[in-house]
Structure formats: structure tokens, C-alpha cells
Structure 1
Amino acid sequence: MGDDGSLRSKSGNETAAFLVRSAFVTEEAVYGVILVSGMIVVASAGEATVWPVFWKVFATVIVFWAAHVYAGTVARHGLDEHEDLGLREAFIVSLRRSLGLLLSAFIPLLILLLGATRAIDDAYALWAALWAGVVVLAVLGFVAFRRRGSPWPMQILGALATAAFGIVMIGLKAFIH
């Protein structure tokens, strides 16, 4: 971010890196991947095709994201550590903070869509979407520990610990189905 708090004074690469760090590598992103994985597990029970799973997961992500933006706006409106936030500013801050929840669903939903459109087999799409969630969680954990300056063994441990939440979802799918 520039000295004035805007994105204007950064180069394209710096702006993209800032957006990845501030929007994607967040607790909202971790929560979003776990939410999507859990929804895949629950929504796929008894479904013959991936289409209904895709739409249930998609709708749930949109509702949770909208609720997160709304809750953040209400919580931040008029209350901030450094200044009094108006409704518009509170909404913008909440919208930016919640992008990780929305963006984190993209890869698993894309894989489900590939299954729904028959580009890949339905069963493969479900399992691939769950494993993609594990990979995304591992990357989020790794990047979070790396940007805090942790030594590489802690970065790996952080990636494995974060990915473990996705592994739990895969275990649930195997157990339930």
C-alpha cells in the first residue's frame, strides 16, 4: 500500500502480492476452505451427480460470505481502534476482509463444475475438490508462517497443521459414504 493508504502507488506486481496477502491469506480464507470441504461432504451424501452438490456448495458460500460482510459491517460501523468508521467505510473494510472466504471456494467449486459439466467423472470431481482443499489449506498455512518469518521447519509444520483440517473432512467423507 502506498503512503496515503491507497493501492495506486504500488506497481502491478506489488499490488497483486498485497491483495493475495490481505485478501487470500486470512482466517476467512482458511474458514472458507473448511466450509466448502464440509459442504462437499454433506451435500454429496445421496446425490447421484455433482450438479446438486455444486449448487448447494455455491449457494452456501454466497450466503456465508454475505453474512460475513454484513456482520463485519455492523460490528465495525462506528467502532474502530483508530477512528470512527461510517457505514460505507465499515462496509468496504468488511468486504475486503471477507474476500478470502469467497476466493478460497473458487478452486474446489471449479473442480465440482468440471464434474457437473462431465469434463471429469463425478466421483473424481468430488474427491479432487476435497484434495484441492487440502492443498489450498497447506499453501495458506505455509504462506502465513513464511510471512511471519518462521524458520522453514515451522513453515512446513504450519502447512501440515492447516492441511490437517482438510484431511479431517476427507476422513469424514470416507466414514459417511
Structure 2
Amino acid sequence: MSYLRALWHHLASPSAIYGLIVYASLITATAADDDNGPRSIFAFSAVTLVAFWIAHVFSAALGHRGGEHRGTVTVARSVRHALAESVGMLEAAILPSIPLLMGVFGLLTGDEAVAWALRVVLVTLAGLGYSALAIRGNRWWWCVLGCLVSTAIGAGIIFLEAILH
């Protein structure tokens, strides 16, 4: 049970949710160009996500104040804090990358790989929306509503970001 709780903790972190949405947006935007095959879609999306992750680590390290230990916060401590806070962005890309890699290796067509990657993202957002309310002890119908709302908001953000990129 502690493994599941730790997994949920990582997937439900703000950086993981942000990373999931950014990664899906990158996949969608890259796939919109018909010249891009599964290899290009995966490579561009993964490399761009890593660039966003580096920016996230940099901003978190630079902005880390150390709470009560303001006078004793070292650069190393700030970087460790930033890495721990930001790792969810990269972890969130693991599951949607599986269908993309299946496309790279010819197990799925490019369109199928993208569609499955986006399905994985939306199912993950749905699960997070449901579980966020279930953990708080809400009734099942509120949890289902949370599932639907989080999926719709995530899909809307992915759509908007894909259009803008």
C-alpha cells in the first residue's frame, strides 16, 4: 500500500500534473504536422519537456528560500530541493511515452501512437481528479464529477496549448 501511496504522491504533485499537460500539448502540437513520424514526435516532445524541466529546476532552485532555515540554505540544498520538487515533470511523461515508443518501433502507426499517448494522459487526469476527492472522503458522485471536470480542464488546456504552438 505504501508503494501505491508513493506513486500517487508523485503523480499528483503539481509538477507532475503540469508535466503531463505540457507533454501532451507538445505531442499534440508536434503530431499536427503530417511530416512528423513517431520518432520525430517522441524526440521533439521528450527533448522539449526536458528543457521545460531544466527551467523548472532552475526557477525552483533560484527561488528556494529554505523556510525556517533562511540563513543556512546552501546552493546545494536549493538544487536538491528543486530536483525533488520538479522530478514529477519527468515521471509524468513515462506512461504516455510507452505508446509513442511503440510507434517508434513499428508496433503502432504514428496516429495510433499519438492517440494512445493522449488517452493515457486523459485517463491519468481522470484518475487524479477522482482520487483527489475520494481521498478527502467525498461521496462517489462528487468523485466522478471531479474525474470529469479534471479531464475536461486538462483536455481544454492541452487543446489550447497545441493550437498556440
TM-score exceeds 0.5: yes
**1:34 aligned onto 2:34:** no
Q: Where does residue 101 of structure 1 map in the other structure?
A: 89
1:82, distance to aligned residue in structure 2 (A): 2.4
Aligned residue pairs, count: 161
Q: CA deviation at 1:86?
A: 2.1
Structure 1 counterpart of 2:155: 167
Give the % identical residues: 26
Residue 3 (structure 1) aligns with = none
Which shifted more, 22-31 or 114-123?
22-31
**1:57 aligns to 2:45 (yes or no):** yes
TM-score by length of 2: 0.84
Following the alignment from structure 2 to structure 1, what is the Cα–Cα distance between the partners of residues 149 and 123? 12
Q: 1:107 to 1:141 in 2, by over 3 A?
A: same
Change (3 A) 1:98 1:149: farther
Pair 1:22-2:9 in alignment: yes
* More helix as a share of residues: 2
Classify the secondary structure of the residue corresponding to 2:106.
coil
In structure 2, relative to structure 1, the CA distance for the partners of 1:169 and 1:109 (3 Å cut) is farther
Structure 1 position 152, deviation (Å): 2.5
Structure 1: gaps (5+ residues) = 1-12
Q: Quick one: higher RCO (CA 8 Å, sep 6+), 1 or 2?
A: 2
Paired residue type of 2:110: D
Query: 1:141 matched to which residue of 2?
Result: 129
Give 4+ residue runs of structure 1 displaced > 6 Å after superposition. none
Q: d(CA) in 1 for partners of 2:46 and 2:157? A: 18
**Structure 2 unmatched runs, 5+:** none
Distance 1:82 1:151, change over 3 A: farther
* Alpha-carbon shift at residue 89 of structure 1 (Å): 1.9
2:92 is the counterpart of 1:92: no
